[in-house]
């Protein structure tokens, strides 16, 4: 005799069960950290400018930038925020949860030092709080340059979906 459930219904039940089991296992630990590093090239800056429409002379014009106080071209500070987004995704991978999670904001974002073409930027995200009742996680995000200077600091807010 055939089961009254279709293959699609059985698969849906399996997915819901897996999701439910994952929800019960969410336990990020304060202090958990992930990192990602990227060298910012001239090409990265020009492509970013093309995507965003931010063609400010400090990013795009070498001669202009050389006469400015920093003495050379700088990358868009928001590129460092892109690296912050990468570590926000990677922290979810660290826990290997099947449960979807969303990034719902950054607080206290500060662009502290300029980013120059050729800088290598290690980004780090460290869990500072986790509320199991709401499945919300708060993390400290820091992006440095290869000299160890902090170029960006922020607080990342994430939520595991129920």
Q: Identify the band that residue 96 occupies on the pLDDT scale cut at 50, 70 and 90.
A: low
Percent of the chain with pLDDT over 90: 67
- For the chain, give the longest Cα–Cα distance: 83
State the burial class of residue 107 (Cβ atoms within 10 Å of its Cβ: 0-12, 13-18, 19+). Answer: exposed
pLDDT in tens, 104-149: 899 999 999 999 999 999 999 999 999 988 889 999 999 999 999 9
Is-above-0.85 flag for pTM? Answer: no
């Amino acid at each position: 005799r055939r089961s009254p459930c279709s293959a699609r219904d059985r698969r849906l039940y399996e997915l819901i069960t897996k999701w439910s089991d994952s929800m019960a296992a969410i336990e990020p630990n304060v202090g958990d950290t992930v990192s990602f590093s990227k060298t910012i090239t001239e090409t990265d800056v020009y492509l970013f400018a093309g995507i965003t429409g931010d063609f400010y002379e400090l990013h795009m014009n070498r001669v202009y930038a050389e006469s400015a106080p920093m003495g050379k071209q700088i990358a868009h500070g928001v590129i460092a925020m892109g690296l912050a987004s990468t570590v926000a995704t990677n922290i979810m991978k660290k826990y290997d949860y099947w449960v979807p999670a969303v990034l719902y904001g950054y607080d206290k974002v500060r662009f502290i030092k300029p980013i120059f073409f050729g800088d290598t930027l290690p980004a780090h995200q460290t869990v500072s709080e986790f509320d199991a009742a709401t499945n919300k996680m708060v993390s400290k995000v820091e992006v440095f340059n290869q000299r160890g200077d902090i170029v960006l600091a922020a607080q990342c807010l994430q939520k595991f979906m129920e």
